[in-house]
Structure 1
Amino acid sequence: MNRIVAIRAASQITRLPASVSRQFAASALAAKYKKQHYVDPDPQIGDYPNLPQIKSEERPQLGWWDRQNRRNFGEPIHEQDEVLNMRSPSLYRSPGWKQVSRLWAGVVITIGTVYYLIGKTRAERPYMRAYYPNGLKEELGGVPTRTMADAIKEASA
């Protein structure tokens, strides 16, 4: 009996307009998508359907009665709908380690190249550095520079 109904339904689908058959194909895709996820048994929800923890953002975009929330008419609402609906925070998919390491290598190579080019193309200083053979002793009036050891000797004497 079920097989006859399925054959009749399939023959009616071929007679439907293209937009309706496209919608049916999208809803069939959505039904297939729902079957792929494992649902952990929860004894506390009683006879309410135990739905998979799938965010609405992960569902296919087309084939839903309510396209904004990606739900069909009469579909049971998940018990944690406020966490899984379209208004919840978006999913963030982080890039893989290969991509991250390539990006970091690019940053390091770029910064190194810039420093190398600046070092090679930097102009020479337009002045000569001052050279003091005896240090700054004579230039500061002949007073020797004081060190910490000299200050301790003076204080202890």
Structure 2
Amino acid sequence: MNRALFSRSVQASKQRRVLAALGGIRFESASPYKKKYYVDPDPQIGDYPNLPQQFYEDRPQRGWWDRQNRRNFGEPVPEQMEVLNMWAPTQYWSPGWKMVGKMWAGFIVTLGTVYFVISKARAERPYVRAFYPYGGLKDELGGVPTRTMASSIEEASLSVAKK
């Protein structure tokens, strides 16, 4: 690494720390681990502050000068004000896949438990099944047994052979 570049970056970081301590000026680091809600500083906005990208709907409800929009008097306006303010579309929270899996598992376990309890707690029949002798009174009532295609062909061929 070039020594001149290294010494310049060390001096710049010292200056930033001093300015931040004295005037409360916030500087964003170039590291990939940035604070939540902050975006990369835009070189086109000049000295305008790099404000957090936080939805006003997520702010606490009380303690604001403008209670409807949850802003204080003189507060700088974010660059994406029309997207972040209270009149923007509502932000919906959606759970992660782990939580969704737990919800599905809970639903299936609950459904299985209800099925098991109902099957075990089912009441006995209040009657006794009827018993019919002679194959369910088939002969007495003149019923015909259920036929298959093979049995009907066989019966037809036997009747033709008898004639």
Q: Tell me the TM-score normalised to structure 1 length.
A: 0.49
Q: Which has the higher contact order (CA 8 A, sep 6+)?
A: 1
Indicate the structure (1 or 2) with the bigger Cα radius of gyration.
2
